[in-house]
């Protein structure tokens, strides 16, 4: 993901012109924390976003929409139990926000919860059969999940008989088993101070769930890595680090999909690079798996051939490209000098090991950690 900061655990869909969305996220979070919507919009519009001045009503509308989303969650679950989707955790609410499905791709644990015991089995079935198509599932509302396609979790989990869950009849049977044998409960407190009983079940993904997801995207990765002159191992390593192969990945920045593309930065650059004309891609465009991988590979190519083209050593350039994918090419160059020309000269005087050391000491902490994770992950995909 490009030019991000520490994650907040929230997101909402791109519904206004994309040039305002990044900052609308920030505004929404500020409003949710109690700041005045009017004062924030006025201040930010004056100092940062010309688009807001041109379209302030649309901005306010989107912020209020995000407020409603947060309010709906906290109204049902309370502040301490409100959870939103992140790059490595799928979270989906249904039925007026009283049911929730969570898939943690780091721990490999699926948790299905309900404030109505009678709806738990239905929610389990829906979770098991959620389609392998993030374009069809709205993570930012309580809309129903459309079923019928190949399930996203197919071959990523097995039922109590050790069988993969593909069809509704098997999902129904496994759901009943979970309700009968694995049911748990706990108490939560909503925003009004009311105590509510929550029922839930937990079950694991298979041990190699990450590997199984990787195989689903290999054709696209190999194709676009070849097209843009990249090592496929690098692309896999970035996807692993960004989303752990979760096509539903979202972050508050906002960034979308497997390669966590930010629409207004990497998204715009990559879209113009691919299509030959400038535009900001929508969230729907970026949730398309083929589009997302192509955009990510195109942006890596842009970093290689445009922003960091003057770095001569191949290994030094790779370190810089990885750090730039997370923290931006400008931050990479500023790690070496305030002057871009001087930065390139310094990079080219240093050995790859010295370039690594500078990036690991001068880049923001998230980018420092990111660089290590991607380089280590790449070794596994060679």
Average pLDDT over residues 263-284: 93
DSSP class of residue 83? -
| pLDDT over 60 at 11, yes or no | no
User: How much of the chain exceeds pLDDT 70, in percent?
Assistant: 83
**The predicted structure's pLDDT at residue 63:** 58
For residue 307, whether the previous peptide bond is cis, meaning omega lies within 30 degrees of 0, is no
| pLDDT over 60 at 28, yes or no | no
Token readout for 148 is 């019928």
List the chain domain ranges. Answer: 18-77, 89-204, 209-380
End-to-end CA distance of the chain: 22
97, 133, 155: which is closest to 248 by C-alpha? 133
pLDDT band for position 9 (cuts 50, 70, 90): very low
Kind and range of the H or E run holding 128: helix 120-129
Q: Is the dihedral of CA 274, 276, 282, 284 positive or negative?
A: negative
State whether CATH 3.90.75.20 applies to domain 209-380. no
Please enumerate in sequence order all residues whose Cβ is within 8 A of that of 256, keeping only pairs 6 or more positions apart, or say none: 249, 250, 263, 283, 286, 287, 292
d(CA 372, CA 79): 34
66-77: pLDDT as tens digits: 678 888 999 999
Q: Which of 134-148, 171-185, 348-362 has the lowest mean pLDDT?
A: 134-148
CA–CA distances in Å: residue 303 to residues 238, 298, 329: 14, 9, 7
More confident residue, 49 or 229: 229
Angle between the 56-77 and 37-47 helix axes, to the nearest 10 degrees? 140
d(CA 242, CA 240): 6
More confident residue, 271 or 1: 271
96-123: pLDDT as tens digits: 999 999 999 999 999 999 999 999 999 9
CB atoms under 10 Å from CB of 89, counted, come to: 22
290-307: pLDDT as tens digits: 999 999 999 999 999 999
326, 189, 213, 262: which is closest to 11 by C-alpha? 262
**The predicted structure's pLDDT at residue 24:** 46
**The predicted structure's pLDDT at residue 307:** 98
Burial class (CB in 10 A: 0-12, 13-18, 19+), 187: exposed
257-270: pLDDT as tens digits: 999 999 989 999 99
CA–CA distances in Å: residue 3 to residues 7, 254, 375: 12, 10, 19
Token readout for 111 is 């948790």
**The predicted structure's pLDDT at residue 10:** 35
224-269: pLDDT as tens digits: 999 999 999 999 999 999 999 999 999 877 899 999 999 989 999 9
pLDDT band for position 190 (cuts 50, 70, 90): confident
| pLDDT over 60 at 334, yes or no | yes
DSSP class of residue 105? T
Token readout for 183 is 């049911």
Name the average pLDDT for the chain: 87
Q: Tell me how far the alpha carbon of residue 91 is from its chain's centroid.
A: 11
* C-alpha R_g of the chain: 22
d(CA 234, CA 106): 20
d(CA 172, CA 342): 64
| pLDDT over 50 at 35, yes or no | no
| pLDDT over 60 at 14, yes or no | no
pLDDT band for position 60 (cuts 50, 70, 90): low
User: How much of the chain exceeds pLDDT 90, in percent?
Assistant: 74
**The predicted structure's pLDDT at residue 69:** 83
Burial class (CB in 10 A: 0-12, 13-18, 19+), 46: exposed
Q: Where are the beta strands (DSSP E) in the chain?
A: 89-94, 99-104, 109-114, 184-189, 195-204, 250-251, 255-256
pLDDT band for position 30 (cuts 50, 70, 90): very low
Token readout for 208 is 């190699």
């Amino acid at each position: 993901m490009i030019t991000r900061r520490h994650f907040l655990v929230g997101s909402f869909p791109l519904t206004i012109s994309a040039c305002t969305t990044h900052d609308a996220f920030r505004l929404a979070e500020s409003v949710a924390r109690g700041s005045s919507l009017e004062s924030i919009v006025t201040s930010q519009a004056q100092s940062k976003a010309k688009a807001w001045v041109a379209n302030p009503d649309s901005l306010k509308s989107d912020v209020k929409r995000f407020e409603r989303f947060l309010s709906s969650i906290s109204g049902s679950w309370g502040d301490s139990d409100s959870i939103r989707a992140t790059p490595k955790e799928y979270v989906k609410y249904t039925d007026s926000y009283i049911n929730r499905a969570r898939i943690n791709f780091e721990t490999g644990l699926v948790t299905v919860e309900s404030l109505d015991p009678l709806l738990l089995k239905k929610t389990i079935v829906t979770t098991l059969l959620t389609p392998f198509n993030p374009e069809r599932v709205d993570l930012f509302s309580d809309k129903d999940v459309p079923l019928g396609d190949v399930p996203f979790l197919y071959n990523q989990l097995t039922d109590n008989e050790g069988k993969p869950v593909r069809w509704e009849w098997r999902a129904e049977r496994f759901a009943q088993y979970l309700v009968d044998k694995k049911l748990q409960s706990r108490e939560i407190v909503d925003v009004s101070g009311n105590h509510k009983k929550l029922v839930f079940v937990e079950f694991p993904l298979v041990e190699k769930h990450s590997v199984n997801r990787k195989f689903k995207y290999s054709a696209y990765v190999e194709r676009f890595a070849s097209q843009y002159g990249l090592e496929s191992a690098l692309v896999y390593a970035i996807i692993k680090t960004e989303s752990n192969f979760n096509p539903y990945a979202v972050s508050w920045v906002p960034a979308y999909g497997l390669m966590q593309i930010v629409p207004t930065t990497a998204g715009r650059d990559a879209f113009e690079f691919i299509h030959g004309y400038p535009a900001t891609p929508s969230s729907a465009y970026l949730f398309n798996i083929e589009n997302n991988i192509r955009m990510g590979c195109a942006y890596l190519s842009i970093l290689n051939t445009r922003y960091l083209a003057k770095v001569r050593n191949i290994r030094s350039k790779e370190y810089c490209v990885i750090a730039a994918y997370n923290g931006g090419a400008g931050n990479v160059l500023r790690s070496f000098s305030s002057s871009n020309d001087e930065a390139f000269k310094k990079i080219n005087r240093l050995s790859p090991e010295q370039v690594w050391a500078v990036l690991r000491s001068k880049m923001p902490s998230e980018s420092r950690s990111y660089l290590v994770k991607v380089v280590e992950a790449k070794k596994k995909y060679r």
